[in-house]
Structure 1
């Protein structure tokens, strides 16, 4: 646990920067800004959950070429981030809600990301990011396969 004022300030700055990194991840992914997106990761980049992907070129190909085939449009919303920082490394989890359109059908999903982070050249980056989905369902069916509360089921 940080003891000095300088250590405590550094901790706050690190937490804020990691929060910004996580937000940029969502914005760049949703905006399909692939080059800037993959640069949020360290040189030994690793992403898993949808598929296991390692390295810059593999990550770029996966997100640029494969992810858009899964959904025409998508929007990520992340909240409830936690992080444990030890020097230039950190681990944490953040909750995620994901809205998408696949073949014209709106979908809803939720899950979380488990992150391993590393400070590289003074800036925090993802070393590893793993996504775990709790559910993925067409919006009209609801997340539990039933209509949303307050809406009558269609006959």
Structure 2
């Protein structure tokens, strides 16, 4: 029988690291009195990089399901950070874009995300970071392909 040893499991350490990275990010956001979650931040980030995204595009970019994207975008819209409009030719499709208020918040959160990254990457050399990033991207591709 194949048996996983958690102390030697890459998946387990990735999961634990993700939890801790998120906790650090939450703490930094709270220290800066920014009332936003990491999930909301990811939506705002993508809308600030590529204006006018649909629910399905946001879901694909963030690896979240439609229900979660709808819940998050509703909260962001209610807070005045994003706006929703209907597609010009297909009224069933909603398109989201970031507001000026949302853009200002993104600029503040970028600093927090940068600080969070620096905390989690302490002692890791730039070439090691590249290897980690390349490996994590491959893990995302592998797991996403399995789930399709």
User: What TM-score results when the alignment is normalised by the length of structure 2?
Assistant: 0.27
Instruction: Choose between structure 1 and 2: higher helix proportion.
Output: 2
Instruction: Choose between structure 1 and 2: higher strand proportion.
Output: 1
**Relative contact order higher in (CA < 8 Å, ≥ 6 apart):** 2
